[in-house]
Structure 1
Amino acid sequence: MTHSEYSEHFAEIDGQKIGYSKYGHGATNMLTICGGVGCYAKDWPLSTLEHFDPEKYTIISIDPPGYGKSRPPERVQNVFRCQKDAVICMKLMEQLELLPFTAVGWSEGSRTALHLAANGIQKINRCVAMAATTRIEKRAVEVTKGMKNTDLWLPADREPYLKHCSNEFFKKQWADIMDTAEECYNMLGGRFPCDALLPRITCPVLLLNGGQDWFHGDQKEIMSRIKDVKMETQLHGGHDFHLKYPKWVVDKIERFITETS
């Protein structure tokens, strides 16, 4: 994969090697964050990023600690993982001198983006949370138990992950994420740590969802607790709608940025 506006790099943050990609050189800074057992090459590939005008945007896509090229060591999953990732994300953007920026996260990464929005006042000028969920109910916990063993998945469902990591890594990490969801329900009443921070978010927030995605949770609950928020739904998309409909996603993000500039 080659593109004159796309490059891959490493940074050292808190003693760990962090992998990231850079696209574009425009004045609007953006950080994109991958989902569970993901990486920037899987969840924010050039085929998606190139729908943004490189003259307008500078987009950093990070591999959070323990994912993708930010290994070793491998990721240790726990309910506070996204909160910890947000600290690394902020330090990377500070190190690159790309402040303020728009935080964009998908799935697990959406919780990291919400942590950034809540704690990065004056450094985060807007937040895009895609396929976001800040709470998990008992029914969802039971469903995650059924998804835990990736050996039972269809090969086509495993393939996007196995292009970027070994089956052993994927199987363990996914099982650990499913255990974390149950841990959140049992220990925190089903509320991920970012849920309590929603009323603290003062920057504009855009929620993007797939209409056929059962896992994104109750978006009305999230919307009711953020001051400045709007929601858009890709009716034909599932959880990975951003990969299947990248032009739709980029159009919604660009409109949101224009409206909030």
Structure 2
Amino acid sequence: MNSAVIKLTKISTNKRLFMFKLSYHSQEKVEWDEGISSHRVQVGPHRLHYLRAGHGPHTLLLIPGALGFGWSNFKHQLLGFDRDFFTTIAYDPPGSGYSRPPEKTFPSYEEEAETVAQFMEALGVECASVVGYSSGGRTAMVLAALHQRLVQKLVLVSTNALVLPDEYKSCRSLDSIEETWNEKIKQIMYSVYGKENLPKLWRKFSDFNECILKEERGNICLNLLKDIKCPTQLICGQKDPLTKIENGWLLHALIENSRLVMIKSYYATKYLTTVTINLRITGKCTSHNIWH
């Protein structure tokens, strides 16, 4: 899988990569890597940060997981997608990544989805294909259900519409960040949130899941899945402790136009390259590709 991503990046770097050095929303441009630019836009009370790559006709909106942000969750996609075909936008939700201050809170997913809809309107994006990872997938599902015209196609990676007790226990087990988190991910997150602040924020996310489990019997958005009409691809890790395989099958059963891909590895090590390969347009699409 990694060789496919490297090859695609190499092809892209031979093309014009600097089409978005200027943005009508940007205070200043920051080059994160070749052809990737950093911008901010005002959406209601929020000054939201996003990364942008490519100049293609097909807009991709990438929504990260809890406390994740565009660069931490979607670096491979920003570097790897065909920039002549895609315009890729990686979004930092309010309070996440570089969309701070204020500090991260955990509002309802309906509220999160409304913010994404307003973000798209602020950028002049009338319709996009949306990739949602983990809790970002929850937001993406609600967006696709409540704002059908905004979502052309949907990819959900390691996400759920129902919090299972074992998933909550796995989430809570990560409260001790220093002892349980992968060292590389830990250092990336420390650099943004701070070593003392990150554990507090993760515990808030664990508390949020506990509230859903106790007050809603785990139901995040099951009642909305019937309203997702766009083609949907589900990617689940068979060894993912935070999103059980049962939730992948449940989404597949309840989202009408969906396809399910199982990967054998733990989600944190392989989901990025899997999504990259499944979304790329190279003329050699995989059997699970929904983009042609």
TM-score by length of 2: 0.80
- Please give the secondary structure, in 2, of the residue aligned with 1:231: strand
Whole-Å Cα distance in 1 between the matches of residues 89 and 45 of structure 2?
20
Does residue 226 of structure 2 align to residue 196 of structure 1? Answer: no
Q: Report the Cα offset of residue 145 of structure 1.
A: 2.9
Q: Report the Cα offset of residue 85 of structure 1.
A: 1.9
Q: What is residue 261 of structure 2 aligned with on the other side?
A: 232
Unaligned runs of 5+ in 1: none
Of 245, 250, 256 in structure 2, the residue corresponding to residue 221 of structure 1 is 250
Deviations 1:192-220 (A, max 9, x none): 1x222111111111111223212223211
Q: Report the Cα offset of residue 141 of structure 1.
A: 2.6
Q: What is residue 121 of structure 1 aligned with on the other side?
A: 148
Does residue 44 of structure 2 align to residue 18 of structure 1? Answer: no
Q: Report the Cα offset of residue 225 of structure 1.
A: 0.7
Q: Contact 2:168 / 2:242 at 8 angstroms: preserved in 1?
A: no
- Please give the secondary structure, in 2, of the residue aligned with 1:224: helix
Whole-Å Cα distance in 1 between the matches of residues 169 and 32 of structure 2?
43
- Please give the secondary structure, in 2, of the residue aligned with 1:59: strand
Q: Report the Cα offset of residue 136 of structure 1.
A: 1.5
Whole-Å Cα distance in 2 between the matches of residues 145 and 7 of structure 1?
35
Q: Contact 2:170 / 2:242 at 8 angstroms: preserved in 1?
A: no
Whole-Å Cα distance in 2 between the matches of residues 233 and 258 of structure 1?
14
Of 54, 57, 67 in structure 1, the residue corresponding to residue 86 of structure 2 is 57
Of 168, 192, 203 in structure 1, the residue corresponding to residue 196 of structure 2 is 168
Q: Contact 1:10 / 1:17 at 8 angstroms: preserved in 2?
A: yes
TM-score by length of 1: 0.89
Whole-Å Cα distance in 2 between the matches of residues 149 and 113 of structure 1?
28
Of 258, 266, 278 in structure 2, the residue corresponding to residue 252 of structure 1 is 278
Whole-Å Cα distance in 2 between the matches of residues 205 and 51 of structure 1?
21
Alignment of 1:79-158 (within 5 A): 80=108, 82-153=109-180, 156=183, 158=186
Q: Contact 1:216 / 1:239 at 8 angstroms: preserved in 2?
A: no
Does residue 49 of structure 2 align to residue 9 of structure 1? Answer: no
Deviations 1:13-45 (A, max 9, x none): 002200001110000011001111111121112
Q: Report the Cα offset of residue 227 of structure 1.
A: 0.7
**1:175 alignment partner AA:** R
Whole-Å Cα distance in 2 between the matches of residues 154 and 27 of structure 1?
38
How many pairs are equivalent?
A: 254
Q: What is residue 16 of structure 2 aligned with on the other side?
A: none
**2:194 alignment partner AA:** S
Q: Contact 2:137 / 2:156 at 8 angstroms: preserved in 1?
A: yes
Deviations 1:121-178 (A, max 9, x none): 1221111110011112223333333222324325615233223321222111100111
Does residue 61 of structure 2 align to residue 31 of structure 1? Answer: yes
Whole-Å Cα distance in 1 between the matches of residues 127 and 137 of structure 2?
18
Q: Report the Cα offset of residue 189 of structure 1.
A: 0.6
Whole-Å Cα distance in 2 between the matches of residues 122 and 77 of structure 1?
26
Query: How large is the RMSD of aligned CA atoms in angstroms?
Result: 2.1
Q: 1:249 to 1:142 in 2, by over 3 A?
A: closer
Of 184, 192, 209 in structure 2, the residue corresponding to residue 181 of structure 1 is 209
Q: Report the Cα offset of residue 260 of structure 1.
A: 4.9
Q: Report the Cα offset of residue 88 of structure 1.
A: 1.5
**2:226 alignment partner AA:** P
Unaligned runs of 5+ in 2: 1-30
